[in-house]
Chain A
Amino acid sequence: MAELKAQNPFADLLPLKIGGVSVDARDLGHLTVLGDLGNRAALAEALEQAHGLALPEPLRSTENGATRCIWLGSSEVLLIGTPPDAALTKVAAVVDVSDGWAAVQLSGVGAEDVLARLVPVDVRTSVFERGHTLRSQLREMPVSITRNEGGFLLLVPRSVAATMVQELRRAMEAVASRR
């Protein structure tokens, strides 16, 4: 029988540490898109029942221990860190995207300055607090950014993982050069 070895999207590109900022690959386990099929209340209830998570409002995320749910876009949220409960399939489009996103943790002093060079949105603590999330572009790549305890969780499509590292590296070098 064939044995398939799993590979992470960044291969040996990470970790990366330049100046005070570091980028580390994150294995988030299960990633599941929950697509609202028109009955938001039912989805909210099912999510609460099954995973003890509130359905996040736009630009927000919720968490319950290691399980998290982040807003992903119009009528879409991303369930992180647990296989979706079967009950969810009755009230939502449930799609496994565990391998579709490449995740990194961006942290350290200057992380905000790094993002200011790549993302056209204000992510300073004063307006983008812990638990806040957004969808934007990291240069020309679609990105999901969530502020967490250690900094920022960035998700980009797996196929552009290498480009993301390259862009982060460039911005980190530029930020470090100013210190």
Chain B
Amino acid sequence: MRIAGRGMIDRRKPVSFTFDGRRYSGFAGDTVASALLANGQRLMGRSFKYHRPRGVLTAGSEEPNALVTTGVGPASEPNVRATTQEIYEGLAVRSQNAWPSLDFDVMAVNDLASPYLGAGFYYKTFMWPRRFWERVYEPVIRRAAGLGALSGQPNADAYEKAYAFCDLLVIGAGPTGLMAALAAGRAGADVILADEDAVMGGRLNAESEIVEGQPGQAWAAEVVAELAAMDNVRLMPRTTVTGAYDGGMFGALERVNQHRARRGTGAPLECFWRIAAKQSILAAGALERPVAFANNDRPGIMMAGAVRVYLNRWGVAPGKQVAVFGNNDDAHRTARELAAAGVHVAALIDCREGVRVQGAAYPVLSGAQVCNASGRKELEAVTIRTASGEHKIQADCLAISGGWNPSVHLTCHLNGRPTWNADIQAFVPTPGAVPGMRAAGACNGVFSTRGCFVAGLEAATAALEALGRKPVAINFPEAEDAAYKLEPLWAVAGKGRAWLDFQNDVCVKDVAQAAAENFRSVEHMKRYTTQGMAPDQGKNSNVTALAVLADATGRGIAETGTTTFRPPYTPVSIAAMGAGGQGKGFAPERFTTSHAASLAMKAPMVEAGLWYRPSYFPRGQERHWRQSCDREVGFVRNAVGICDVSTLGKIDIQGPDAAKLLDLVYVNTFSSLKVGKVRYGLMLREDGFVMDDGTCARLGDQHYLMTTTTGAAGQVMRHLEFVTQCLHPEWQVHVISVTDHWAQFAVAGPKSRDLLNGLLDAPIDNASFPFMACGAVQLGGVEARLFRISFSGEHAYEIAVPARYGAALFDLLVARAEAMGGGAYGMEALNVLRLEKGHLTHAEIDGRATAGDVGMEAMVSDAKDCIGKTMSERPGLRDPKRGQLVGLRPVGAVKQLTAGAFLFAPGDEAIRENAQGHTSSVGFSPDIGTFIGLGFVTRGRQRHGERLRMVDHLREIEAEVEICAPVFVDPEGGRARG
């Protein structure tokens, strides 16, 4: 229930939301947890394994119990912590891991079976039969144990990724962080202050204390206002710094719109920040740890510090009769503040002997422990053990404190280990664990407000010094400076399950069991029990669990050590990390200048690398792509076809040493190529396998234009840059990609020259422009380049114009070709045309093929060295048993060939060991009238005429094939020269 006059909520602004379909009302500034508590709704979730009823334990992002699902349908988000989710009008919240309802959960039967479900149960029980594991056990177990579920629908929300840069990143805006940011901001440093909470101030907003003569909350608001007014300070509320990485990089998750019902166009739900900071201050505070005792997970049992947050921040009393149990002075504060707020305090139970509280309005039990709790869905009473025995007291809320654990997490993300501090019975950061990072305040083991101010100022001063800036004097605010005294208490002895890890249902006995079974290393214990493996990553349980393990194994806590802290500090949705990568955002789309025209011609587009290319251009009555493809092949063989080949890589190579470079990267010689001529070239990788093939034109004495395949353009460019920058930096040669500058079109077929002569400003003939010639031409006054090269085997050209003219030229070429009985052709026809000629693509030079495999050994020049040559002479690459490129045609009843099928001798069983080769590409040849294929067959070149069995295990197709030469049409090559 609410307490009048307290809290930072706006009571003039009521907000209604639903929880499991029921309408609740809260105020602006409430979280789901605070609003539910204010409404008396304690039960907020069910535990992971035993489906125990659970209430909220904490008031922060470490919350292990109150995990809920927000939103509906594709917008639903599981495992949201009710303690951090701000309410807004219309917010729909659902509980998780309960069926049919949170109040009555069938799977709670697991709790009765708990004697069998302890640590290691699954490992020991579901051993056999082996095949049952994946098919039976795992699905059943996963359904029974769990967290929230995804909707199964594509995520409709927008997410964002962004970068930020600063001199100083301050992580956490409590007293330490505010003071550090203030000092650095006033000194003129570029500061980013990031805090998980919607309202900055940290514990100042949680406690009821006086800072500089005014309430801590007011002081914090004043400082935040001053910081917000500084140009050099950037405030990032609702932003959790989730990881520290090398070189001063940090990951941070900002909840941009999760607190709003209305989100504008393109407004992101979350933003994943990468922050580059020269210096950083960790002011992440500390997390209070529970004490383990029987049934310490009952709804109503909460952290003492969290009870104060609900009281002071949200004006909510978490119970009517509150008992407080702790091992330190901080717990006393909770009792004191509850009493001052008029909440009935049933008792203050302190495990330490001889504790006195002056003028307490409630019973103080010193040297006592809470050893059990009763009530199922709501705490009803706690059992207290004193020297004189056990007795119960009525309480609907128990505030517990086992001390505070500094949030050392980020200091450990670069493999640092924290240091045990016996004074506060907790781990503290090891200085220098993250370069440039200083841990200060509570996360460094300093727990008084004044101490935090001092630490924040000191850390800022040191950071400013490292940044080469002068600190400015700051008036120091007066604040409480109480000593923090505690006596270690991890687990109260006794029967029954005492929870350590609430989220994963790991109890004291499980850790003891792990130790008994010799899983004594803390890392082994973690894996065996799953302690610390839930979304809270052990924030509430780590130190207590290892203290219990230390006790069970007879070691000290420091010696036992911690498990490894890894990013992220809090869960980060994959959607945020992959922001922008949904759908087409996954990769850029590269469009040719003819893209719009191809779409207008209704061509289905296929992806080639990042490029989009037309697959075929359907016409009139054609109902199957093969009909279009056959027709387009006919265009090229009989008239003239037009194809956009701009996607091929084009690399301009210039300089006195250009020829040397080409001779080094190609297996054949280019220094001997005459100006105005084009030559086919093959290049190898360092390891001797074929990297790429293509043509290279000599445009001038020191000027070449290299063409690569579409797919390998980037790889070849990188290769050339490596050669020119690393192998031969002394060479005077420069390579520049001009792929995007030129739009280039193949004009192929017997009527290609006629077509061109209708367009070129000066006509060409066979004498002036023979096969493999190249040169500058003019087309309507536009400077163009013409290459007489042919991938189809026909009399063909490629014409290139600056890209701005590409669209116009394509339209013109297609129109002219259509008038001559031809037209545009797409990738399917292009593939058939090249197959008929046995020309290669990366289906053949797939990274495993040598020059010898593809029948081009003779091209490798003996007169010079080239990259990959030596390695290509390794025995394995010269093995005569290697697959050699052959043609394949069907000769049996089945006429279909498929690519990627394996080839076997007719009598052999179709298993891997018997494979004699494979098919690399196939297509239907209208010229031959059957399917034809290319493939690799062991000793294939000597086996033309032999028959093999093609088996495609995936598509379940089998065909009898005959090995033949890999050139099916015009083997003499006369057509290209004509």
Interface residues of A (CB under 8 A from B): 1-9, 11, 33, 35-38, 74-76, 92-101, 116-117, 119-122, 124, 126-127, 139-141, 157-163, 166-167, 170, 173-174, 176-178
Which residue of B276, B588, B730, B804 is within 8 Å of A160 (Cβ)? Answer: B588
The smallest beta-carbon distance between B168 and chain A, in angstroms, is 14
Cβ–Cβ contact B163 & A119, under 8 A: yes
B590–A159 touching, CB < 8 Å: yes
- Is the Cβ of B274 less than 8 Å from the Cβ of A120? yes
Which of the candidate stretches B42-50, B537-545, B599-607, B650-658 sits at the interface with the other chain? B650-658
Check A7 against B593 for contact (C-beta < 8 Å).
yes
Residue interface bits B780-810, CB-to-A below 8 A is 1, else 0 = 1110000000000000000001111111110
5 contacts between A and B (CB under 8 A): A2-B780, A4-B801, A76-B736, A140-B587, A178-B267
Q: Which residues of B contact A93 (CB under 8 A)?
A: 652, 654-655, 733-734, 736
B486 to chain A, nearest CB (A): 44
B591 located at the interface, meaning its Cβ lies under 8 Å from any Cβ of chain A in the complex: yes
B587, closest chain A residue (CB): A140
**In the complex, what residues of B have CB within 8 A of residue A97's CB?**
736, 738, 740-741
**Contact of A4 with B779 at beta-carbon distance under 8 Å, contacts A9-B803, A36-B734, A141-B588 already known:** yes
A127 vs B809: C-alpha distance when bound (angstroms): 45
CB interface residues, B 606-633, toward A, < 8 Å: 610-611
Interface centre among A36, A38, A93, A140 (most CB of B within 10 A): A93
Chain A residues with Cβ below 8 Å from B808 are: 4-7
B588 touches A98 (CB 8 A): no
Report the separation of the CA atoms of residues A31 and B802 in the bound assembly, to the nearest whole angstrom: 12
A11–B267 Cα distance when bound, in Å, is 27
Q: Given A4-B805, A93-B655, A174 and B160 touching (CB < 8 A)?
A: yes
Name which residue of chain A comes closest to B725, CB basis. A74
What A residues does B274 contact at CB under 8 A? 120
Chain B, Cβ-Cβ closest to A39: B732
> Which 4 pairs from chain A and chain B are nearest by CB?
A173-B266, A35-B734, A100-B741, A177-B267
Task: Name the contact of B580 in the complex, choosing from A11, A139, A157, A177 (C-beta under 8 A).
Answer: A139
Q: Is the CB of B803 within 8 A of A100?
A: yes
Q: In this assembly, does B361 line the interface, its C-beta being within 8 Å of a C-beta of chain A?
A: no
* B357 on interface, CB distance cutoff 8 Å: no
> Knowing that A1-B761, A116-B164 are A-B contacts, what are 10 other residue pairs whose CB atoms are under 8 Å apart, sorted by A's residue number?
A95-B652, A95-B736, A98-B802, A119-B163, A158-B803, A159-B611, A162-B591, A173-B266, A176-B264, A177-B266
The answer to whether A35 touches B736 (Cβ under 8 A) is yes
Q: Cβ of A139: which chain B residues have Cβ within 8 Å of it?
A: 580, 588
A-B contacts, CB under 8 A, total: 156
Partner of A37, one of B190, B591, B733, B738: B733
Q: Does B759 reach chain A (CB closer than 8 Å)? A: yes
User: What's the nearest-Cβ distance from chain A to residue B640, in Å?
Assistant: 16
Please determine whether A159 and B591 come into contact, CB atoms closer than 8 angstroms.
Answer: yes
Chain B residues whose C-beta falls within 8 Å of the C-beta of A96 in the assembled complex = 741, 802
User: B265 within 8 Å of A by Cβ?
Assistant: yes
B732 to chain A, nearest CB (A): 5
Chain B nearest CB from A152 CB (Å) reads: 15
Residues of B within 8 A of A36 (CB): 734
* A99 close to B592 (CB less than 8 A): no
A100, A120, A124, most chain B CB atoms within 10 A: A100
| B132 interfacial by beta-carbon distance below 8 Å | no
Beta-carbon contact of B736 and A37 below 8 Å: no
CB-contact partner of B741 in A38, A99, A177, under 8 A: A99
Does B589 count as interface, using CB distance less than 8 angstroms?
Answer: yes
Closest to A173 in B: B266
Minimum CB–CB distance for A70 against chain B, Å: 15
B753 → chain A, closest Cβ, in Å?
Answer: 16
CB distance from A13 to the nearest CB of B (A): 11
Question: Which residues from chain B contact A6 at a C-beta distance below 8 Å?
Answer: 804-805, 808
Interface string of B145-184 (1 = CB under 8 A from A): 0000000000000101111110000000000000000000
CA distance A158 to B739 in the complex (A): 9
Partner of A162, one of B276, B585, B589: B589
Among A33, A76, A160, A174, the most chain B Cβ lie within 10 Å of the Cβ of A174
- Are B163 and A116 touching (Cβ within 8 A)? yes
Q: Do residues B652 and A1 form an inter-chain contact, with CB atoms below 8 A?
A: no
Of the candidates A2, A8, A95, A160, which one forms a contact with B738 in the assembled complex, judged by CB atoms under 8 Å apart?
A95
A116 to B737: give the CA distance in the assembly, Å. Answer: 28
User: B812 an interface residue at 8 Å Cβ cutoff?
Assistant: yes
Q: How far is the CB of A45 from chain B (nearest CB, A)?
A: 17
- Across-interface contacts of B483 in A (CB, < 8 A): none
- CA A6 to CA B808, docked complex, whole Å: 7
Give bound CA distance, A101 to B807, whole Å: 16
CB distance from A177 to the nearest CB of B (A): 3
Q: Which residue of chain A lies nearest to B731 when distances are taken between CB atoms in the complex?
A: A38
| Contact partners of B848 in chain A: CB under 8 A | none
Min Cβ gap A9→B in Å is 7
In the bound complex, do residue A101 and residue B580 qualify as a contact, i.e. CB atoms below 8 Å apart?
no
Which B residues touch A99, using CB under 8 A? Answer: 740-742, 802-804
Known A95-B736, A174-B160; contact A167-B580, beta-carbon cutoff 8 A: yes
How many whole Å from B623's CB to the nearest CB in chain A?
Answer: 32
A175–chain B nearest beta-carbon distance, Å: 9
Provide the bound-state CA to CA distance between A93 and B700, in Å: 12
Q: In the complex, A51 Cα to B164 Cα: how many Å?
A: 38
Q: Nearest chain A CB to B810's CB is how many angstroms away?
A: 10
Report if A75-B807 is in contact (Cβ < 8 Å); known contacts: A7-B593, A177-B267. Answer: no
Whether, in the assembled complex, B485 has its beta carbon less than 8 Å from a beta carbon of chain A, the answer is: no
Return the chain A residue nearest B780 by Cβ: A2
Q: From B158, B590, B736, give the contact of A174 (CB < 8 A).
A: B158
Chain B residues within an 8 Å CB radius of A170: 158, 266, 580, 585
A170–B801 CA distance with the chains assembled, in angstroms = 33
Residues of A within 8 Å of B267, CB to CB, are: 173-174, 177-178
* A-chain residues with CB within 8 Å of residue B355 when the two chains form the complex: none
In the complex, A122→B742 CA distance in Å? 33
How far does the Cβ of A14 sit from chain B's closest Cβ, in whole Å?
15
Q: Which of A4, A33, A158 contacts B736 (CB 8 A)?
A: A33
Q: Whole-angstrom distance between the alpha carbons of A162 and B656 in the complex?
A: 38
Is there contact, CB below 8 Å, between A159 and B592?
Answer: yes
Taking CB atoms and an 8 Å cut-off, the chain B residues in 845-879 that contact chain A are none
Distance of A176 Cα from B264 Cα, bound (Å): 9
* Residues on A with beta carbons closer than 8 Å to the beta carbon of B656: 37
- Look across to chain B and name the residue whose beta carbon is closest to the beta carbon of A94: B654
- Do A37 and B655 contact each other (CB < 8 Å), given the known contacts A1-B761, A4-B812, A159-B611? yes
Q: Do the beta carbons of A116 and B591 come within 8 Å of each other?
A: no
B878 to chain A, nearest CB (A): 38
Q: Find the A residue at minimum CB distance from B803.
A: A99
B588 touches A140 (CB 8 A): yes
Interface check B472, CB cutoff 8 A: no
Most-contacted residue by chain B among A94, A159, A178 (CB, 10 A): A159
Which chain B positions have C-beta within 8 A of A119? 163
Bound-state CA distance A154–B190 (Å) is 26
Q: Bound complex: CA of A117 vs CA of B733, how far in Å? A: 37
Which A residues are in CB contact (< 8 Å) with B734?
Answer: 35-37, 75-76, 92-93
Q: A11-B596, A139-B588, A159-B590 are in contact. Are A37 and B732 (CB under 8 A)?
A: yes
Q: Across the interface, do B807 and A7 meet the contact criterion of CB distance under 8 Å?
A: yes
Known: A3-B780, A157-B740, A177-B266. A126 touches B802 (CB 8 A): no
Q: Which residue of A lies closest to B166 (CB)?
A: A122
Residues in chain A near residue B596, CB distance under 8 A: 11
The smallest beta-carbon distance between B246 and chain A, in angstroms, is 15
Please tell me if the beta carbons of B732 and A38 are within 8 angstroms of each other in the complex.
yes
Encode B249-270 as 1/0 by CB contact (under 8 A) with A: 0000000110000011111100
With a cutoff of 8 Å between Cβ atoms, the chain B residues found around residue A7 in the complex are 593, 804-808
